[in-house]
Amino acid sequence: MMKNTTQMNLLFSIFSLFLLVNCGTKDKTKGHNEFSKSETKKITVSGTVSQTYSYCGGARPSDEMIAGLATPKPWPGKKFHIIKGDTNTVSHKVVLDFTSDAEGKFSFELEPGTYSIILDDQLSPPDAKKYKTELINVDETCFNNWWAKPYYLLEVKEENIKDLNFNFHHRCFIGSDVPCLHYTGPYPP
């Protein structure tokens, strides 16, 4: 009888181990398949960054020179930041940075969702006063509104987004992309 009990316990242990291993394998496989199904596809976003210039005084330029200033040219090394949502806030979290290459082109991948592309000047909390100088005035209301609004609202869906074009117009004597700055100094004759 003792021998039978030992054999029964051994058989029961082997059977239990078999069930545990078999059930564990099914759970792992099921979990793996569920993970694979829930993986979100990343969408490619690409485009170019260009820049144009204003005529800032001096000798009267030719029509060709004016046309050249107004013709978009690639802007290499222009940096952008991406945050989730459609509004910039002090507590934003940057999910991705991207920079234009030597030809002004960029490309990155994101999961579907609503994102805001913001500029360097929109990273830190809004402080219009830091832009004010002897020759540059700042419209603070304009600045605060500009800071909260994304440079570009990006809706990522199921298809790749290509051919985005961001053009920045450089105004005379202002070294920033903040539109609320106004040069008040003299212009060259």
Can you give 123-164 as a three-state secondary structure string? CCCCCHHHHCCCCEEECHHHHHHHHHCCCEEEEECCCCEEEE
pLDDT at residue 46 tops 90:
yes
Residue 98 sits in the same domain as residue 82? yes
Task: Please check whether residue 189 lies inside any domain of the structure.
Answer: no
Residue 109 CA to residue 111 CA, distance in Å, equals 7
Task: Please check whether residue 63 lies inside any domain of the structure.
Answer: yes
Residue 103 CA to residue 54 CA, distance in Å, equals 22
Residue-wise pLDDT for 13-44, tens only, equals 555 544 444 555 444 444 444 444 456 799 99
Residue 35 sits in the same domain as residue 48? no
Report the CATH number at residue 154.
2.60.40.10
| Strand 113-118, strand 181-183: pairing | unpaired
pLDDT at 59: 87
Q: Domain of 22? A: 1-39
Residue-wise pLDDT for 80-133, tens only, equals 999 999 999 999 999 999 999 999 999 999 999 999 999 999 999 999 999 999
How high does pLDDT run on average in the chain?
Answer: 86
Q: What are the two backbone dihedrals, phi and then psi, of residue 124, each rounded to the nearest 5 degrees?
A: -85, 160
pLDDT at 187: 85
Looking at per-residue pLDDT, the higher value among 8 and 152 belongs to 152
